[in-house]
Amino acid sequence: MTQTIKRGLLLGAAAAVLILALYPIPSPATPRWEVWVVDEKGNPVEGALVRLDWQNYSAETTDHEESLYSDENGHVLFPARTLRACFLRRAVGTAFAATGGVHASFGPHAFVIAFGQGRSTGVAVSDGNVTDWTGTPFQMQSRIVLKPAR
């Protein structure tokens, strides 16, 4: 095999690797998340501001948020979102996240909170902890209780 052919094959392989490293790969950024906001007696709270916060720590350096007001049933629906990021971006993001040491977070995370209407801030809770979505399931349902502000 001549030197020219070897160089051509090497350049072709490098180009293929670069193309693959830069090709955007879709992954879930948030689930489809239904939220019901209620008061301490279980009655719907209309007009509460419900916020979905999310970030993929392995592909992004900034967080995102969307806020919606609850309807007359205390209901809000956030649609599912998809992140498109290439392998190179994900590798750099993961390396950057790792600089956080023991406090580092990796991959997708999302949570919902609600506030307003003269009430204290409430969060979605699962098993006594703040609900932290980390990539699955693709659909979430949460009930947030808003108590009177003190």
In our burial notation (b when 16+ CB lie closer than 10 A, e otherwise), range 16-51 reads eeeeeeeeeeebbbbbebebbbbbeeeeebeebbbb
User: Which alpha helices (H) appear in 1-150, and where do they start and end?
Assistant: 3-22, 87-98
What type of residue sits at position 103?
Answer: H
- Residue 4: predicted pLDDT: 82
Under the banding of pLDDT at 50, 70 and 90, the label for residue 8 is confident
**Domain architecture of the chain: domains with CATH:** 24-146 (2.60.40.1120)
Q: Is the pTM of this model over 0.85?
A: no
Rounded mean pLDDT of 94-109?
A: 80
Is residue 21 scored above 70 in pLDDT? no
Distance CA 43, CA 27 (A): 36
